[in-house]
Amino acid sequence: MKRNVRCILSSLLFCAALIGCGKFFRYILIDDTASYTRVAFHEMYDQDNIDILFVGSSHCYRSFIPKIFDEKLEVNTFNGGTSAQNLDGSFMVIKETARYHDVKHIYLELYYNVSFATYKARTEMTQTYIISDYLRPSLDKVQYLLNASAKGHYPNSFILARRNWYQFFDADCVKDLIIKKASDAYKNYEYAYITKESEWYDGKGYVANKGVIEDWNYFSKDGWSGINLSNISEDWFRSLEDIIAFCDEREIALTLISVPMPNYLLAGDGNYDEYVELVQSLIKGTNVNYYDFNLCKEKYFPNTSSLFRDTHHLNCYGAEIFSYLLADFINGEISEEELFYSSYDEKLENLEPTVFGISYHDSKNNNGELVRNCKIVSSVSDDLEYEISLLPTEGESSKIQDFANNNFFSIVPEEHGIITIKYRLSNSPDEIWAVNIFI
């Protein structure tokens, strides 16, 4: 008996020493002083209760403002979004939040780009670790890490200090990190400690950004090719099924939702309705609803780039409009028929003629020279004519194309300056609009 007791005590002491060493090395080697999720998950555990949870990728934590929902819905809400959060991460956040709170409704943001991840093929683990590092110990957490990657990542997943072990020999780096972590702001999880120039943590998981895209000034690789539904991973489908089953078993209402993205991105992709139809087919016969605010009518969410910070995300001004809008929709102040078009194609058909920006793709020509292929992204696919001019940073303006229906052209990748696109409807040649795009 005494021998068994000694074995148990020895095991417990070993585990305690292992945990203690892990915490020590994590403290001196892992720099999380600018981590939003460190503060957010601390707040999640500290809530009296969470009635409504928003969960998903950066589209989630940059879009749902808990302060607004708390006020409008008269419940306590929380934003559990994290950067590049895949559905296995969403499921982990859901389970952890439900473990400590009586969650009554979950809104899962379904940004299409997270649907392509194959978990065992991951080589970049940041999106996993920014969740797992701040969760309390549990079997669910262990299972999450075991399923999140191939076995080669297990040492880094379970021994945090191993990720940055080389910094142990950099005395200045260790010293600087200890000084930062010794501050009251870090120890007290103060918001101001992780405030950046145009971005700040605004509480309960929401991150605000005041960056603005003016006048549809998009010049980006995004929006070049369509959404390839055949590349959606089996892991994504399985995780979505797991989330639906978990919520059904716990009697938690589940709503799938897509937040507004710039028309530049979706019009550039060209087949967004296929993704919407896929999601709708997956929840057929369940108690789950899906609302896509990219189908929202302009009366409720204006067709302007100034509500976005980049090619994907709302800024704080867009997030405020969206949050009030969703709250009104949840409260029944706006009906589904009033709020949404039946498809994204129908939405584009109802927009005023607009050039949203230029998408580009680099390739080599027959001579082996690098060429930047450009595509004008607009609300009208067939009836617009474009005149294209280039004013380089140095040199004189040149015309690339007279008015024509063609929306493709090429430039050299090193070219910088302003591309001016004048456009008009083919049947109304006297009414001309123009947009200047910086490249």
Mean pLDDT of 159-184: 74
What would the pLDDT profile of 292-303 be if each residue is shown by its tens digit? 999 999 999 999
Same domain, 341 and 363: no
Residue 355 tokens, joined: 């050039």
Integer-rounded Cα Rg, in Å, for the chain is 25
- 6 lies in a domain? no
Domain that holds residue 396: 355-438
pTM of the model: 0.92
Instruction: Residue 373: give its domain's CATH number.
Output: 2.60.40
Same domain, 361 and 266: no
- 8 lies in a domain? no
Beta-strand pair 52-55/77-79 = parallel
Does residue 120 have a pLDDT over 70?
yes
**Count of structural domains, the chain:** 2
Same domain, 225 and 371: no
Same domain, 58 and 116: yes
3-state secondary structure the chain: CHHHHHHHHHHHHHHHHHHHHHHHHHHHHCCCCCCHHHHHHHHHHHCCCCCEEEECCHHHHCCCCHHHHHHHHCCCEEECCCCCCCHHHHHHHHHHHHHHCCCCEEEEECCHHHHHCCHHHCCCCHHHHHHHCCCCCCHHHHHHHHHCCCHHHHHHHHCHHHHHHHHHHCHHHHHHHHHHHCCHHHHCCCHHHHCCCCEEECCCCCEEECCCCCCCCCEECCCCCCCCHHHCCHHHHHHHHHHHHHHHHHCCEEEEEECCCCHHHHHHHCCHHHHHHHHHHHCCCCCCEEEEHHHECCCCCCCCHHHECCCCCECHHHHHHHHHHHHHHHCCCCCHHHHECCCHHHHHHHCCCCEEEEEEEEEECCCCCEEEEEEEEECCCCCEEEEEEEEECCCCCEEEEEEECCCEEEECCCCCEEEEEEEEECCEEEEEEEEEEEC
Mean pLDDT of 353-375: 93
Same domain, 270 and 249: yes
Q: Which residue has the higher pLDDT, 73 or 187?
A: 73
Instruction: Residue 309: give its domain's CATH number.
Output: 3.40.50.1110
Residue 176's pLDDT is: 75
Residue 49's pLDDT is: 97
Residue 380's pLDDT is: 85
- 159 lies in a domain? no
- 158 lies in a domain? no
Q: Among 10-14, 227-231, 284-288, 418-422, where is mean pLDDT lowest? A: 10-14
What would the pLDDT profile of 295-327 be if each residue is shown by its tens digit? 999 999 999 999 999 999 999 999 999 999 999
pLDDT band at 131 (very low <50, low <70, confident <90, very high): very high
Residue 15's pLDDT is: 46
Does residue 436 have a pLDDT over 90?
yes
Residue 17's pLDDT is: 47
Residue 174's pLDDT is: 73
pLDDT band at 29 (very low <50, low <70, confident <90, very high): low
Last residue of a domain, one of 327, 346, 365: 346
Residue 326 tokens, joined: 């969703």
Half-sphere exposure of 66 (CA within 13 A, CB side): 25
Last residue of a domain, one of 312, 328, 346: 346
Same domain, 331 and 372: no
Average pLDDT, the chain: 91
- 157 lies in a domain? no
Same domain, 218 and 82: yes
pLDDT band at 7 (very low <50, low <70, confident <90, very high): low
Same domain, 383 and 404: yes
Residue 24's pLDDT is: 64
Last residue of a domain, one of 288, 319, 346: 346
Same domain, 311 and 238: yes
Residue 180's pLDDT is: 79
Q: Which residue has the higher pLDDT, 12 or 197?
A: 197
Distance CA 55, CA 108 (A): 5
Mean pLDDT of 42-50: 97
pLDDT band at 177 (very low <50, low <70, confident <90, very high): confident
Distance CA 300, CA 212 (A): 19
What would the pLDDT profile of 62-90 be if each residue is shown by its tens digit? 999 999 999 999 999 999 999 999 999 99
